[in-house]
């Protein structure tokens, strides 16, 4: 009945299904553990008629025209420039830490000196990872780096990851830069948008095809089995391709041990006022158990006397209970992942794709790009 079986209906699985169905005219079965499509990008309107993102704020930004044009087949967009504030010593200031932030937190003379020194050492409108700035030989820049590290970075990172920043991969620490300029936007990409009718609608449009069948609320192991001699679907050997986007350690029954993740406890609240805060997201690096508060009316404006906010409490991932949000990048974990990757090569009809299957952090545009690339190179 099917030419391809895809495990997971997030970006990785949905893009692959759409390409296979429309470009190859082949039949695809998608098996999804959750009761909805869209993966962690799933959104819906709450009781206040406010569009909320169930798994935390998702803001689409990219410099990749190919990815933007591809997704534009399935949605129209609203331009949206995301702005984030952080509470430092009781004051809300813009982040990434930039020239405006410097002027907000330091005396005028010191702020001017720091601006000049940053411009002497780095290009205007460039982003400098905080751990790179800490290596500067200039005492004033060292002071700035230490200030940002302490007030913005270190405690937030400790909450988010449950470990010291020095123990994290540079791919994570690079995500917290100082911006050498005055641009208050959190992202600087060419395309900064949100889908006009929400992310879920993108997936509905993407998967609305006669060649695509969707099985929700189903653990893949209820209907599939991976044996030494191949892949079985409903007890019949399946000779087509399997595209797996779930947790790689789960696929192989944790043969080499668990791959650790960080999870987040999402707490939504209805507030009886028109707006709760000045920006869509306010970070709380210090003094609170949660890392940030997001107010969705800033992202998807609507006329309402109430507002919905989300507080995020990072936590250790507990298998079978929590959502695995972030792979934890350490040498030990990467070594364990590589064992799984090598083992997976025994099945030549198995393709691993996505954040969980590749144990790699992907932004939305990155995983769409990756899925399109895998389709062209390994499927088409």
Taking the model in full, what pTM does it have?
Answer: 0.94
CA distance 116 to 93: 20
The pLDDT tens digits for 298-315 are 999 999 999 999 999 999
Q: Which residues neighbour 321 within 8 Å (Cβ) at sequence distance 6 or greater? A: none
DSSP string covering 117-186, please?
HHHHHS-TTEEEEHHHHTT-S-HHHHHHHHHHIIIIIHHHHHHHHSS-GGGS-HHHHTTSEEEESS---S
Percent of the residues in the chain that have a pLDDT greater than 70, as a whole number = 97
Mean pLDDT confidence for 206-218: 98
Mean pLDDT confidence for 283-303: 96
Query: What are the C-alpha distances in Å from 198 to residues 34, 74, 369?
Result: 19, 11, 20
Percent of the residues in the chain that have a pLDDT greater than 90, as a whole number = 89
CA distance 354 to 17: 14
Task: Check pLDDT > 80 for residue 324.
Answer: yes
Q: Which residues neighbour 18 within 8 Å (Cβ) at sequence distance 6 or greater? A: 206, 207, 209, 212
Strand-pairing partners, residue 233, are 224, 236
Report whether 46 contacts 268 (CB < 8 A): yes
Rg for the chain, CA atoms, rounded: 22
Q: Which has the closest alpha carbon to 138: 166, 114, 154? A: 114
**For residue 298, what is the DSSP state?**
G
**For residue 372, what is the DSSP state?**
H
CA distance 333 to 171: 15
Domain edges within the chain: 4-61+193-260+327-379, 90-184, 262-316
CA distance 133 to 148: 10
Report whether 18 contacts 206 (CB < 8 A): yes
Task: Check pLDDT > 80 for residue 262.
Answer: yes
Q: Which residues neighbour 258 within 8 Å (Cβ) at sequence distance 6 or greater? A: 249, 319
- Tell me the pLDDT band of 107, cut-offs 50, 70 and 90: very high
For residue 232, what pLDDT is reported? Answer: 97
* Per-chain mean pLDDT for the chain: 95
Mean pLDDT confidence for 115-135: 92
For residue 364, what pLDDT is reported? Answer: 98
Q: Please give the backbone phi and psi of residue 147, each rounded to the nearest 5 degrees, phi first.
A: -65, -50
H/E element, 19: helix 11-23
The pLDDT tens digits for 328-358 are 988 899 999 999 999 999 999 999 999 999 9
For residue 166, what pLDDT is reported? Answer: 67
CATH architecture of 4-61+193-260+327-379: 3-Layer(aba) Sandwich (3.40)
Largest CA distance in the chain: 75
The pLDDT tens digits for 32-80 are 999 999 999 999 999 999 999 999 999 999 999 999 999 999 999 999 9
The pLDDT tens digits for 126-178 are 999 888 898 899 999 999 999 998 898 888 888 898 877 667 666 665 567 89
For residue 176, what pLDDT is reported? Answer: 72
For residue 168, what pLDDT is reported? Answer: 62
């Amino acid at each position: 009945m099917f030419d391809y079986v895809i495990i997971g209906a997030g970006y990785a699985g949905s893009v692959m299904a759409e390409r296979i169905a429309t470009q190859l005219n082949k039949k695809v079965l998608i098996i999804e553990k959750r009761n909805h499509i869209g993966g962690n990008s799933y959104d819906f309107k709450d009781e206040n008629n406010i569009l909320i993102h169930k798994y935390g704020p998702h803001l689409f930004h990219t410099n990749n025209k190919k990815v933007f044009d591809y997704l534009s087949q399935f949605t129209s967009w609203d331009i949206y420039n995301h702005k984030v504030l952080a509470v430092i010593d009781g004051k809300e200031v813009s982040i990434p830490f930039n020239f405006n932030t410097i002027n907000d937190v330091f005396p005028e003379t010191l702020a001017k000196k720091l601006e000049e020194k940053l411009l002497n050492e780095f290009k205007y409108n460039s982003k400098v990872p905080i751990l790179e700035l800490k290596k500067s030989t200039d005492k004033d820049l060292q002071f700035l780096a230490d200030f940002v590290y302490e007030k913005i970075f270190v405690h937030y990172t400790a909450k988010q990851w449950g470990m010291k920043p020095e123990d994290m991969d540079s791919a994570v620490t690079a995500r917290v830069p100082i911006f050498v300029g005055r641009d208050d936007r959190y992202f600087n990409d060419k395309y900064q948008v949100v889908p006009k009718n929400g992310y879920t609608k993108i997936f509905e449009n993407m998967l609305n095809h006669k060649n695509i069948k969707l099985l929700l609320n189903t653990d893949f192991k209820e209907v599939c089995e991976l044996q030494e001699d191949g892949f079985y679907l409903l007890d019949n050997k399946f000779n087509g391709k399997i595209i797996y986007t779930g947790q790689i350690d789960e696929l192989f029954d944790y043969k080499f041990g668990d791959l650790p993740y960080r999870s987040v406890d999402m707490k939504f609240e209805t507030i009886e006022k028109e707006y709760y805060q000045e920006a869509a997201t306010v970070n709380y690096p210090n003094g609170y158990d949660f890392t940030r508060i997001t107010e969705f009316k800033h992202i998807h404006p609507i006329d309402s006397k109430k507002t919905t906010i989300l507080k995020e409490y990072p936590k250790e991932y507990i298998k079978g209970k929590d959502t695995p949000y972030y792979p934890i990048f350490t040498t030990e974990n990467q070594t364990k992942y590589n064992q799984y990757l090598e083992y997976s090569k025994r099945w030549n009809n198995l393709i691993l794709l996505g954040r969980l299957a590749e144990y790699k952090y992907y932004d939305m545009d990155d995983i769409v790009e990756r899925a399109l690339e895998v389709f062209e190179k390994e499927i088409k």
